[in-house]
Amino acid sequence: MTDAGLLVIDDLHVHYTLARPRLFAARPVLRAVDGVNLSVDRGRTLGLVGESGCGKTTLGMAVLRLVEPTGGRVEFDGVALRSLEGDALLDMRRRMQIIFQDPYSSLNPRQTAGDIVRSPLDVQKVGRPAEREERVAELFSLVGLRANQRNLFPHQFSGGQRQRISIARALALNPDFIVCDEPVSALDVAIQAQILNLLCDLQEELGLTFLFISHDLAVVQHICDEIAVMYLGVVVEKTNRKTLFRNPRHPYTRALLSAVPARRGTRKVERIRLEGDIPSPIDVPSGCRFHTRCAHAQERCRVEVPKLEEKSPGHWEACHFDTSTSASV
């Protein structure tokens, strides 16, 4: 995929060389992300979904260079991020931020909420101290926290309030792009809706661009414009939200969607149960990585790697065969 966007990911790899299992043995390589191509347009939200261990979070961290890619290219607003070092990388970090999954462990328990939100301003030396305090007050109001909560510590907040602190911290430097790494998975359902609505409102108000990582398809359906489905380090399907939920093409995507509870007024879809566990990223299957669990697998799938191709306008799939069926989830 070569579509230009605010963020463009080209053949991104993140591999980890592990310790030898025994003396003189070869060092195994864990292929967490193994050749991903994606783009995210300005002001839009790309959802990244898949089972635990498929490489979603690693990809998000590599985009921000919180982990170093093994290969490939990441461009942000036309700038190759892997070429940046020192002050140039620090300056770019003002424009790219992250909201972590756990709203408690990602906050320093020894800092007050106000200090946590102000910390990016201190690190980047933005404005005078008085101006930083004004910015903190503005951010607290923006995410729905009270001014008198600035002197409280993280343990004195609820889970939803802690995630609001994390969002305020991510917004402190007026970023253009935010990686949302399962930001509501640790919250109660009612609180999830509040945080998702807050993110949508902030996106509209501030013109933000999101890479939204989640394993919950109902959440992704609520907030994302486009969705990419990952399996074992690679993207197997990518299209807009409406098309993915109405006409998923890849067998893995259809299995994921069949597990989403049907809403009132929609047709119930027969549950597709995948046999076996996801293979290890240390010992990746030959050919199509999904063939060990796919009911439609043939000999070609075992030996030939399918390319991610545009099978219909705006709908990309990595599969040798057309096994799609219309669905309404």
Please give the pLDDT value at position 41: 96
In this prediction, residue 288 carries a pLDDT of 96
Return the structure tokens found at 186. Answer: 């640790």
| pLDDT tens readout for residues 211-229 | 999 998 989 998 999 999 9
DSSP labels, 17-49: EPPPSSTTPPPPEEEEEEEEEEEE-TT-EEEEE
- Where would I find the beta strands (DSSP E) of the chain? 7-17, 29-40, 45-49, 71-76, 79-80, 96-99, 177-181, 209-213, 226-231, 234-240, 309-312, 315-317
Domains and CATH numbers, the chain: 7-95+177-317 (3.40.50.300), 102-174 (no CATH)
Q: Is the pLDDT of residue 325 over 60?
A: no
| Residue-level pLDDT at 102 | 87
Query: Residue 130, class by beta-carbon neighbours within 10 Å (0-12 exposed, 13-18 middle, 19+ buried)?
Result: exposed
Quickly state the pLDDT bin for 17 (edges 50, 70, 90): very high
Extract the tokens encoding 291. Answer: 């063939």
Please check whether residue 259 is in contact with residue 213, taking contact to mean a CB–CB distance below 8 angstroms. Answer: no
- The mean of the pLDDT values for the chain is 91
Alpha-carbon distances, residue 177 vs 41, 63, 98, 208, 235 (angstroms): 10, 11, 8, 6, 21
Q: Is the pLDDT of residue 327 over 50?
A: no
Q: Give the separation between CA 320 and CA 283, rounded to whole angstroms.
A: 22
Dump pLDDT digits (tens) for 80-92.
Answer: 999 999 999 999 9
Per-residue pLDDT at 67 exceeds 60:
yes
pLDDT confidence of residue 268: 56
pLDDT reading at 63 higher than 90 = yes
- Residue-wise pLDDT tens digits, 147-204: 999 999 999 999 999 999 999 999 999 999 999 999 999 899 899 999 999 999 999 9
Note the pLDDT tens digit of each residue in 233-291. 999 999 999 999 999 999 999 999 987 766 544 455 677 878 878 899 999 999 999 99
Which among 286, 267, 252 has a CA at the least distance from the CA of 326? 267
Q: For residue 218, what pLDDT is reported?
A: 87
Question: Alpha-carbon distance 227 to 185, whole Å?
Answer: 18
- Order of strands, sheet of 309-312, starting from the edge strand that comes earlier in the sequence: 96-99, 177-181, 209-213, 45-49, 226-231, 234-240, 315-317, 309-312
> Whole-angstrom distance between the N-terminal and C-terminal Cα of the chain?
27
Angle between helices 159-171 and 113-123 in degrees, nearest 10 = 20
The pLDDT value recorded for residue 180 is 97
Q: Do the Cβ atoms of 8 and 42 come closer than 8 Å? A: no
318 with 307: CB under 8 angstroms? yes
Contact 35, 202 (CB under 8 A): no
Higher pLDDT, 328 or 20: 20
Write the CB contacts of 122 (distance below 8 Å, at least 6 apart in sequence).
132
pLDDT of residue 329: 42
The rounded percent of the chain whose pLDDT value lies above 70 is 94
Q: How far apart are alpha carbons 145 and 147 in whole angstroms?
A: 7
- Note the pLDDT of residue 324: 64
